[in-house]
Structure formats: C-alpha cells, structure tokens
Amino acid sequence: MTHHDEAQAAGAGPVHEEHEPAKGGGGWLSFFAGLILAVAAGWIIWQPLLYAKKTQPFPFNHVAHVEAAGLTCEECHKFDDMGRFSGAPPVRACLECHTWEDRQNEDSEAETAFLNEFVTKDGEVKKEAEWLIYSKQPDCVYFSHIAHVKMGKIGCEECHGDHGKSAAPRPYYENRITRYSRDVYMKMKMTDCADCHTRRQKPENNACFVCHK
C-alpha cells in the first residue's frame, strides 16, 4: 500500500500532490523588456548629460548666399597656406559684400542685424563671430582639404552635408568631456576615413603618418 492509499484509509482526506511550477518564457520576456526599457531610458538621459547644446553666434543663411548670390563653398571657406581650409571666414571677408553704405538688400532684417552686431557705422569690424566648428578635428590630426577636393575630387557635402540648402545653422552639440562636436563622431571618425580610402583603392593612405603628424 502506498503512502497515498494509507492516508486515505486513515480518513485523512484527499492528499494534494505537489507539482513544480510550469516552465514558460514569461521570465525571459520580462527580462528583455526591462533591458530594452533600461537602455532606452539610459540613452535618453545620457545624451543631454554627455552633450551640451549650443547655438551659433549668428543665424547664417547658406541658401541666400549659395542660390541667390551664387557663391561657392571655396569663396568663403578658402584654403590656407598649408592646403587646409581656414574654417569659417572672418567678419572682414563678409564686408566685401555687406556694408552699411551698400547693403545688398535694404529689407533684409538678418543683414541689418549682422551689421548692427559685428560692424561699426564706420565700416570697421566691431567683433569677430566665434563660430562653432562642427568638423573640428583633434590637434593630432592633419587633414589636407586640397588633396581631397582637388586630387580626390570629393565634394564638400560628402563629409559636411549639404549646407548649401540650409536656411539656418543646425544646433551644435559639444561633447562635455572631449569638447568636440558630436558631428565628428558621425561621419568623420577615423574608420570613416579608412573605409573611404579602401573604397577608392587608396589603402596606402591608411598609414598612421599620413594623417597623424
């Protein structure tokens, strides 16, 4: 006679047998759902903590200068003596077209605001515009624009985006730790340069000394 039969014979009533809980996928589902939520929440919180949002000193309109005035990138962003670009042009370069005496558009509020802030009534530079450079590279990197533009036939927009169609500068996000723009980590990483050299069958340009002087 089994234990179950003995218990029933003694009048102890029915004996409830213990069963192990069913093994299902609910635990794993909850784990992955929680993991996804944690990563999403961390990313949302981490971005503002890591990057400081800044604005440019003036809402420069590329469309007006490229399409209306017919300027090219090189006319404002000129090569320096070492074959690199000089970055954003100084206010003095803007005065070649914009002056109090000979304004291009009398109804342009933006032009008037620019002159008010950066140019004296006598036509002298009042102060320089401290532009935030989206593509600023670390000091250890040497990048020759003239080699890429003239010899490599690479358009400015391939690395910098088509700024010629922007009516105002996009926000500038500065890494609080490195002090570099977030744009550098998007399309201007070292791996991006190496991949481009490989695609163009120039693997020898991936040597360290080519970019790191």
* Residue 50 within any structural domain of the chain: no
pLDDT of residue 30: 83
Q: What is the DSSP letter of 134?
A: T
Beta carbons of 85 and 79 less than 8 angstroms apart: yes
| Number of domains present in the structure of the chain | 1
pLDDT of residue 76: 92
Shortest CA distance to 188 belongs to which of 144, 158, 209? 158
* Residue 192 within any structural domain of the chain: yes
* Residue 101 within any structural domain of the chain: no
Region of residue 87 (left: phi > 0; alpha: psi -120 to 50; beta: else): left
pLDDT of residue 5: 55
pLDDT of residue 25: 57
Token digits of residue 107? 């109804």
* Residue 9 within any structural domain of the chain: no
Using alpha carbons, list the distances in angstroms from residue 187 to 33, 158, 194, 195: 32, 9, 12, 11
* Residue 133 within any structural domain of the chain: yes
* Residue 200 within any structural domain of the chain: yes
pLDDT of residue 65: 93
Could you give the angle at the alpha carbon of 205 between the alpha carbons of 148 and 150, nearest 5°? 15
Q: Which domain holds residue 192?
A: 55-88+129-211
Long-range CB contacts (within 8 A, 24+) of 122-125: 123/95, 123/99, 125/90, 125/91, 125/92, 125/95
Beta carbons of 102 and 130 less than 8 angstroms apart: no
pLDDT of residue 39: 80
pLDDT of residue 102: 67
pLDDT of residue 178: 87
Per-residue pLDDT tens digits of the chain, which is 213 residues long = 555 555 455 555 555 555 555 555 567 888 878 888 888 777 777 777 889 999 999 999 999 999 988 999 989 998 888 888 888 999 999 999 888 886 655 567 888 899 999 999 888 999 999 999 998 888 889 889 999 999 999 999 888 888 888 999 999 999 999 888 988 877 788 999 999 999 999 989 999 999 997
pTM summary value: 0.71
* Residue 173 within any structural domain of the chain: yes
Query: H-helix or E-strand containing 2?
Result: none
Q: From CA 198, how far away is CA 204, in angstroms rounded?
A: 9
Using alpha carbons, list the distances in angstroms from residue 153 to 34, 91, 161, 202: 49, 29, 16, 14
* Residue 167 within any structural domain of the chain: yes
Residues in the chain: 213
pLDDT of residue 48: 79
DSSP secondary structure of 7-35: HHHTT--PPPPP-PPP--SHHHHHHHHHH
pLDDT of residue 118: 95
